[in-house]
């Protein structure tokens, strides 16, 4: 004899009818992960960075072809100090800790303003520009 199910018989504990849970749906590994971001994400170690130090604070600035170090740093929300943006005040002076090869050679204004400090890795962020391209 087949037992008839009612609404009340579906409430747990009110019926001796065994409720079976739905069978597990097999998951195929190839279809279960949906890729939505197709842009290549480079690991941090592969990104080209210049590390600059200003007033005992070190900041990473990502390589941005043909931009000044100051423009790139500000775009990347780095708290770099500056004032005139014309190579006169020296407020944007930074010491390059790493990645100096990503920058063009110092400008005449940098040479005039920084003098011997250039030899110890100092640059004017508003005057130093990233190379337009770098060898791979
Ligand atoms: S901001 Fe004045 S020299 Fe760079």
pLDDT at 33: 47
**122 CB within 6 A, ligand 1:** no
pLDDT at 47: 77
24-78: pLDDT as tens digits: 555 554 444 455 555 555 555 467 999 999 999 999 999 999 999 999 999 999 9
Cα 96 to ligand 1 centroid, rounded to whole Å = 16
Q: 123 and 103 in contact (C-beta within 8 Å)?
A: yes
For 39, half-sphere exposure in the C-beta direction (CA atoms, 13 angstrom radius) is 3
Tell the residue nearest (CA) to atom 3 of ligand 1: 87
Classify domain 47-124 at the CATH class level.
alpha beta
Is the pTM for the entire model greater than 0.75? Answer: no
Extents of the domains making up the chain:
47-124
pLDDT at 134: 79
Ligand 1: which of 54, 68, 92, 129 to mutate, most ligand atoms within 8 Å of CB?
Answer: 92
* 95 burial type by CB count under 10 A (0-12 exposed, 13-18 middle, 19+ buried): middle
70-129: pLDDT as tens digits: 999 999 999 999 999 999 999 999 999 999 999 999 999 999 999 999 999 999 999 999
pLDDT at 90: 96
- Closest atom of ligand 1 to 82 CA is 1
């Amino acid at each position: 004899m087949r037992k008839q199910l009612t609404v009340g018989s579906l409430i747990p504990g009110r019926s001796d009818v065994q409720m079976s849970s739905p069978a597990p749906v097999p998951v195929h590994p190839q279809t279960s992960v949906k890729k939505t971001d197709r842009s290549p994400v480079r690991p941090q170690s592969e990104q080209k960075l210049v590390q600059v130090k200003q007033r005992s604070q070190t900041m990473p600035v990502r390589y941005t072809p043909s931009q000044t170090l100051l423009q790139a740093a500000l775009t990347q929300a780095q708290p770099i100090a500056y004032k005139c943006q014309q190579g006169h005040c020296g407020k944007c002076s930074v010491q390059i800790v790493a990645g100096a090869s990503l920058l063009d050679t110092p400008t005449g204004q940098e040479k005039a303003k920084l003098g011997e400090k250039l030899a110890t890795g100092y640059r004017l962020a508003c005057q130093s520009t990233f190379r337009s391209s770098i060898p791979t």
